[in-house]
Amino acid sequence: EKGGYEHFMLKEIYEQPDAVTDTYRGRMLVEQSLIRMAGVDDNLERFLNADRIIIVACGTSWHAGLVAEYIFEDIARIPVEVEYASEFRYRNPIIGSKDVVIAISQSGETADTMAAIKLAKEKGAFVFGVCNVVGSSISRETHAGAYTHAGPEIGVASTKAFTTQITVLSLIALKLAKAKGAISNSDFQYHLEELDLIPEKIKQALASNEHIKKVAHKYMNAANFLYLGRGFNFPVALEGALKLKEISYIHAEGYPAAEMKHGPIALIDEKMPVVVIATKKGHYEKVVSNIQEIKSRKGKIIAVVTEGDQDVRSMADYVIEVPDTVEALTPLLTTIPLQLLSYHIAVMLGKNVDQPRNLAKSVTVE
Ligand code: F6R
């Protein structure tokens, strides 16, 4: 059942090239320069007339929502708010019939997300679900939706659900951008071609596994980790930290890189490993200067970089390369080494990777 892998989590990490392909198969027609998604096509006017999109979710799915916020705003120019479902449902949110709510949930059973959906529906919003489990409660409660088609996710720590959620949300953003005229035809086509290359590039990212194991071995005894990223990769930093916390029980925090100087930099000393996502895209130079700040305080730097990067390599203690892609899609690649890093650290510490203490696969109580 684990297909020769030691744990479900590792199997599911390795399934990501296929899972992402399954997510866009039949929806993204590269040759025709077209994205077809029934749930969106049938409700296109609702999406296009929306004043804003509100995304509600919990945990890793919330992180996928944050990535989507960057993608929707950048590509489709639609304002997006991302909310923890648990906060949204209890704070008397201002929401009406012109709002589109996107609820993201792997299991489709999360109690807080379900309650947020019910509230949004009561207030007249159109609610769209992005679920993995077919026929789940949330997929039934929403007005329309798109499944991620990641296949069953057994490991409690979410991996392939995250990357396929980002894939679905990218497809929706691109589709709306095209319908609104917010993206040129050539840029739209370029994004489709780049998305089509992602599964192969995830495979290349997975090929760093042995190297990542060495990094894991080096830092497995650290008491704390910091994860930093900017822009599209800020939520990836949050997700990397969550993965490490969940399965290795090492305290980790994710931050937007520039926020470091507003507090967390006080934590940095020679015992603090800092995982920095520093792909050669927007804000690259700024991240490089953040790395210098860490370095001058003797922090240990593990940098996720674009293939061939030399500048960061000269400063970092370890670099992990991912292939280049268009900026909006970098989270699909930068996430991979962070999943593997937390996996190997947890295994080396002898933790129960697939069933971490105190956690359940679907959280059906608030
Ligand atoms: C993290 C994790 C949880 C879930 C969260 C939401 O690895 O598994 O944080 O992401 O409980 O679950 P779903 O997506 O099923 O609503």
| Poorest-pLDDT segment among 63-72, 159-168, 281-290 | 281-290
pLDDT of residue 359: 87
pLDDT of residue 366: 82
User: What's the average model confidence in pLDDT over 18-25?
Assistant: 98
Structure confidence at residue 281 as a pLDDT band (50, 70, 90)? confident
Q: Given a cut of 90, is residue 180 above it in pLDDT?
A: yes
Q: Hey, which of 158, 244, 343 would you mutate to test ligand 1's pocket, going by the most ligand atoms within 8 Å of its Cβ? A: 158
Q: Given a cut of 90, is residue 360 above it in pLDDT?
A: no
Higher pLDDT: 365 or 223? It is: 223
pLDDT of residue 361: 84
| Residue at 26: amino acid letter | G
pLDDT of residue 338: 98
Whole-number Å distance between alpha carbons of 196 and 338: 22
User: What's the average model confidence in pLDDT over 67-78?
Assistant: 97
154 lines ligand 1 (CB under 6 A): no
Structure confidence at residue 144 as a pLDDT band (50, 70, 90)? very high
273 lines ligand 1 (CB under 6 A): no
User: What's the average model confidence in pLDDT over 269-286?
Assistant: 92
246 lines ligand 1 (CB under 6 A): yes
pLDDT of residue 127: 98
What is the set of active-site residues? Answer: 361
Mean of pLDDT over the chain: 96
Q: Output the furthest CA–CA distance in the chain (Å, rounded).
A: 56
How many other C-beta atoms lie within 10 A of the C-beta of residue 80?
Answer: 21
Say how many CA atoms lie within 13 Å of 337 toward its Cβ: 33
Closest CA to 75 of 183, 166, 171, 189: 183
pLDDT of residue 282: 77
pLDDT > 90 fraction of the chain, expressed in percent and rounded: 90
CA of 42 to the centre of ligand 1 (A): 28
Q: Hey, which of 13, 60, 142, 366 would you mutate to test ligand 1's pocket, going by the most ligand atoms within 8 Å of its Cβ? A: 60
Q: Hey, which of 67, 114, 243, 363 would you mutate to test ligand 1's pocket, going by the most ligand atoms within 8 Å of its Cβ? A: 363
User: What's the average model confidence in pLDDT over 84-93?
Assistant: 92
Q: Given a cut of 80, is residue 174 above it in pLDDT?
A: yes
User: What's the average model confidence in pLDDT over 267-296?
Assistant: 92
Closest CA to 23 of 194, 182, 199: 199
Sign, CA dihedral 135-235-120-78, equals negative
pLDDT of residue 4: 93
Ligand 1 atom, smallest distance to 243 CA: 7
DSSP tag of 30 = T
Q: Given a cut of 90, is residue 190 above it in pLDDT?
A: yes
User: What's the average model confidence in pLDDT over 115-126?
Assistant: 96
Ligand 1 atom, smallest distance to 363 CA: 11
User: What's the average model confidence in pLDDT over 95-110?
Assistant: 96
Structure confidence at residue 319 as a pLDDT band (50, 70, 90)? very high
User: What's the average model confidence in pLDDT over 167-172?
Assistant: 98
- Write the ipTM: 0.99
342 lines ligand 1 (CB under 6 A): no
Whole-number Å distance between alpha carbons of 260 and 290: 8
pLDDT > 70 fraction of the chain, expressed in percent and rounded: 100
